[in-house]
Structure 1
Amino acid sequence: MTTNSSVPAPFDIVGFDLDGTLLDTSGDLAAAVNHALGSVGRPLLTVEQVKPMIGGGARHMLAQGMAATGGCDEATLDMLHRRLLGYYEEHIAVLTRPYPGVLDALDVLAARGARLAVVTNKLEGLARKVLGALDLTARFDCIIGGDTMGPGNAKPSPKPIYEMLARCGGGTAAFIGDSIFDIEAGKAAGLPTVACSFGFLMQPVAGLGADAVIDGYDELIPTLERLAER
């Protein structure tokens, strides 16, 4: 990893997904899903069962959890979604931690002049709350949530990626994520994309179609450097 701050960052802007990319939120999200499931007498799910359900927002995650335990109608899903969000907001950073090497990678990118951003399908308010609880908010030039751009404009739409570029002042950019939503959004916006093999994968990482894959954050900056040379 090149730490010399006199060497420019490989991209002017580096955007990151949140859940399964920057933060391992699986324990707290699984607890919130199980709170909703248990409140209506459904079987509880393991963290490993919940991980592939993460990435499309809380309602999408809960819908899959309900489907896995017997299904439900839209009215019940709406009610349980509110219940899940209330619980999650109160327990947002009990188990959640940055992945190993995240802070070092962010420090190096920032020292080399990159502007850093979060683009997540988590509600913006919850994204800001969890980043604040972990004292990470100030590291990012912008934080865009699944509701920031209005209904229907979360990833895989490229609109939040375009908004990231605008808020960060434009320039070259790359996007890092762990789900098909992340990679499709980045590619649709014309950005090189990096997939995290350690994230909450819904499918084999090779099937995401990213331009590169990393197995840990020690690989991120060398990977970005290679992508920038293409």
Structure 2
Amino acid sequence: MNIVFDLDGTLIDSAPDIQAVSAKILGKLGKPALTIEETRNFVGEGARILVSRMMAARGIEETPERHAQIFGEFVAEYEFAVEKAVFYPGVVDALAVLKGGGHKLALCTNKPELPARAVMKHMGLEPIFDAFIAGGMTKNPKPDPEMALKCVADLGGGPALYVGDSGTDAQTAANAGLPFALYTEGYRKSPVDEIPYDWAFDHFDLLAGIVAEAQARHRAV
């Protein structure tokens, strides 16, 4: 089965790295860094929206020119911000089990391409994934279905499961016509019962069972 994963808030907690970048950028402007809670609330819809939210939270007037400047500085720092990212519990073993079971895995993230590739390399994820799509590699970011559908196509097509942690991921899966497994311990901004999902799980030890159920459901159709 094809399994498409979100990255930040699903496989890894990268908020401490993003917070550190915000401290550098905002510090130059005489503004305090984002808190870790703000950081987790701001991620998920791409770096451009994150920068807009960061500017608004610190009272920085957003003009196209000002946003472009801060965005450029943010991405330049973001590419090298990998040292504080950590896997969520059970992720490494779950990915190994799925890969060993013959499933094809794709990574689908709104994170810009260079920072996404940098953190993948740092955390040893490159050999695990058979397809990869990041922010800027397609015309439309999530929740538009383009990125998820491109991942499935790059995996060779066929039945797929989308795994993510947020309402954005849920909408992406719905737009792409894919069943959705919600990881409840990531960056979601809404209560679990307000996010549409086919399965919800709080530890990656449960994911292999969900994949088996998704396969059985597909065969029964």
| Superposition TM-score, scaled by structure 1 size | 0.89
Pick from 86, 89, 94: which aligns with 2:76?
86
* Structure 2 residue 57 is the aligned partner of structure 1 residue 68: yes
Distance in 2 separating the partners of 1:41 and 1:154: 31
Q: Partner letter of residue 189 of structure 2?
A: M
* Structure 2 residue 130 is the aligned partner of structure 1 residue 141: yes
Q: Which residue of 1 aligns with 2:90?
A: 101
Alpha-carbon shift at residue 128 of structure 1 (Å): 1.2
Q: Which residue of 2 aligns with 1:214?
A: 201
Pick from 175, 188, 199: which aligns with 2:175?
188
Indicate the RMSD between aligned Cα atoms, in angstroms: 1.3
Q: Partner letter of residue 178 of structure 1?
A: D
Distance in 1 separating the partners of 2:112 and 2:61: 23
* Structure 2 residue 151 is the aligned partner of structure 1 residue 164: yes
CA contact (8 A) 2:107 2:133 kept: yes
Distance in 2 separating the partners of 1:126 and 1:46: 21
Aligned pairs (5 A) from 1:16-35: 16-35=5-24
Aligned pairs (5 A) from 1:41-52: 41-52=30-41
Q: What are the Cα deviations for residues 142-174 of structure 1, in whole angstroms up to 9, with x where unaligned? A: 110121112xx1100101111111100011100
Q: Which residue of 2 aligns with 1:15?
A: 4
Q: Which residue of 2 aligns with 1:111?
A: 100
Distance in 1 separating the partners of 2:114 and 2:131: 13
Q: Partner letter of residue 162 of structure 2?
A: F
Q: Mind listing any 5+ residue stretches in structure 1 that lack a counterpart?
A: 1-11
CA contact (8 A) 1:161 1:185 kept: yes
Percent identity for Structure 1 against Structure 2: 35
Q: What are the Cα deviations for residues 38-90 of structure 1, in whole angstroms up to 9, with x where unaligned? A: 21112222112210111011121121121112142222221111111111223
Distance in 2 separating the partners of 1:179 and 1:72: 28
Q: What are the Cα deviations for residues 86-105 of structure 1, in whole angstroms up to 9, with x where unaligned? A: 11223x21101221111111
Q: Partner letter of residue 21 of structure 1?
A: T
The 3-state SS of whatever aligns with 1:156 is coil
Distance in 2 separating the partners of 1:119 and 1:229: 24
Q: Which residue of 2 aligns with 1:3?
A: none
Q: Which residue of 2 aligns with 1:57?
A: 46
The 3-state SS of whatever aligns with 2:110 is coil
Distance in 1 separating the partners of 2:190 and 2:67: 25
The 3-state SS of whatever aligns with 2:157 is coil
CA contact (8 A) 1:19 1:55 kept: yes
Distance in 2 separating the partners of 1:136 and 1:162: 21
Q: Which residue of 2 aligns with 1:5?
A: none
| Superposition TM-score, scaled by structure 2 size | 0.93
Q: Partner letter of residue 183 of structure 1?
A: A
